[in-house]
Structure 1
């Protein structure tokens, strides 16, 4: 098995573990990103601090939807994570090997010291990320729909209540009739919403192209893992060089150091690209919420213009604190698990080779 395949499988395994551990935060964060709030509401709101707001929202989901509400869409998400991480790490390792081979060839010709520069790391990560996005975007459209389904149903119910109150004022319904109809609406529960239901809904709305909604901001967001891996690889290279130079120190990098480097890398990447993530989530969530045109986006440019017009710049940073906690923790876990799995594979391969050599003697 090549090191590219080993890294792909290790990345998939690490990604699934990290995704499962942090999925409740991801669900809440997606709902925060897709929550539309007008400028005046943002200015006049006296909401609690972001950390407490996230905690309260988690409790609210548990109270109204049960624990299953926090894990809505987990199955396709795990599939998407396995596919994304496997594809990404496989192609990342393939192009990383090529970049290192090119750098070694340049050194033999007397150009450079044989190390891969930051720009090369960016290009490697960008190519791997682009291939990953194009192949896995349909899965993430379904995951976003499933994570925000209850929120959308609640919005639709609010619109129905407004219509009912408007109708009552126009045709003068009796208080008892109005209360009965409102009670009937309150008794309705969100419809069951599985993966196939989400897929049929996406196809009915926009056809096959609907599965690639948000592809433009997602492709632009390829710079997120590019920035992440540039910081991670550069920091790891610097730490290894420093450790190797110190004859009294250990050359091996510990799991804690990998965890901290992964956290630092993901933090820098998340803060710089978060607005694009919000736009992507808005495009992938269900658009038909009531009759308000400000809540519907026909494309990336339309979403950006309407968000600036109706919500202002704060709209692009909805739920960022939650995302930072979730993504930094997930990335740190992923890097640690991936590195340990690769080490285990290398050790297993070494023992197998040693066993085969002894067998031939």
Structure 2
């Protein structure tokens, strides 16, 4: 497939644009999810106790205003834009390498390998951004620590107080979450094949490629369904990572020392339910998020392809 590799920059650009759009629309639910994830329900925390997602949004809006609902927005936008851009770029490159000139479709195993490879690289490059985002989202008026004043101040303060290694807290859980992306993209690719086959037979279309068969509604359903599967299977790792990435108390002692400590403490005091705290807000945020991301990604990619074909025809 000689034409596949030249689309890599378009994949990156489409992924970055879709990631930015998604965060801008759904960020308040991400704040709520993060606060639920680190709340162990035992009290003694600087975080208020929320009854449910609606109560959390209402409480944050009432006590902290719009600024509270959009806490950590800038690193979230930056991180999501960079992450999705890099992810689609690395994913596209990996698929191209696995195809190796063959006209046959990739197997589910190849899709998982490509997704895992892309996810690992993105995780290593962006973990510092997500740590800062988590810290900013957990800031409330009740914090005992001196608050971070924005993204750059958070970076400087973390480096000064905790050193560069602090930026890679939760990297182990983050790398485990690579399986989340692998599951999501494998599910998306396989569901996409099924949708193309079903619509192609039903409509008896003469379309030569998937772009002419599937529409935005199809991409939305495929993106949302693949995200649900990934969330249900990997959500506990997200909870563990969020808990590890919390800011240490005013005396400099972190609540959880490492992933194993967070895992054992959560299991001991909260049971299985503790590993799924915030999953409602996560689903409410991530199902439409994934739908929007894949719809915009596929449509941006179509626009880039059309634009390049037009430029080639003019040349």
**Aligned-pair distance for 1:123?**
0.3
**Aligned-pair distance for 1:35?**
1.1
Corresponding residue for 1:334?
293
Count of matched residue positions in the alignment of Structure 1 and Structure 2: 301
Distance 2:101 2:240 in 1: 37
Could you report, residue by residue, the CA deviation over 1:136-162 in whole angstroms, capped at 9, with x for unpaired residues? 110000000000011xx52539xxxxx
Would you say the 8 A contact 1:73–1:147 is kept in 2? Answer: yes
Q: CA RMSD in A?
A: 2.3
Corresponding residue for 1:96?
95
Corresponding residue for 1:25?
29
Distance 1:100 1:73 in 2: 39
SS in 2 for 1:38: coil
Corresponding residue for 1:42?
none
**Aligned-pair distance for 1:354?**
1.0
Corresponding residue for 1:234?
190
Residues 1:247 and 1:59: Cα distance change in structure 2 (over 3 Å): closer
Which of 93-102 and 299-308 deviates more? 93-102
Query: Which of the numbers 2, 13, 16 marks the counterpart of 1:9?
Result: 13
Corresponding residue for 1:115?
105
**Aligned-pair distance for 1:202?**
2.0
> What residue ranges of structure 2 are gaps of 5+ in the alignment?
44-48, 208-212
User: Any residues of structure 2 matched to 1:253-272 within 5 Å, and which?
Assistant: 253-272=214-233
Query: Which of the numbers 294, 308, 312 marks the counterpart of 1:349?
Result: 308
**Aligned-pair distance for 1:103?**
4.8
Distance 1:84 1:354 in 2: 33
**Aligned-pair distance for 1:247?**
5.7
Corresponding residue for 2:152?
196
Would you say the 8 A contact 2:148–2:154 is kept in 1? Answer: no
Would you say the 8 A contact 2:148–2:157 is kept in 1? Answer: no
Determine which structure has more spread, i.e. the larger CA radius of gyration.
Answer: 1
User: Any residues of structure 2 matched to 1:48-127 within 5 Å, and which?
Assistant: 53-101=52-100, 103-104=102-103, 114-127=104-117
Distance 1:245 1:318 in 2: 43
**Aligned-pair distance for 1:115?**
2.2
Would you say the 8 A contact 1:149–1:193 is kept in 2? Answer: no
Distance 1:47 1:138 in 2: 28
SS in 1 for 2:261: helix
**Aligned-pair distance for 1:54?**
0.9
Query: Which of the numbers 134, 138, 142 marks the counterpart of 1:148?
Result: 138
Distance 2:250 2:283 in 1: 28
> What residue ranges of structure 1 are gaps of 5+ in the alignment?
40-45, 105-113, 158-189, 357-361
Distance 1:192 1:131 in 2: 28
Residues 1:318 and 1:250: Cα distance change in structure 2 (over 3 Å): farther
Could you report, residue by residue, the CA deviation over 1:308-351 in whole angstroms, capped at 9, with x for unpaired residues? 12222211111111101101111100000010100001111111
Would you say the 8 A contact 1:126–1:226 is kept in 2? Answer: yes
Would you say the 8 A contact 2:108–2:190 is kept in 1? Answer: yes
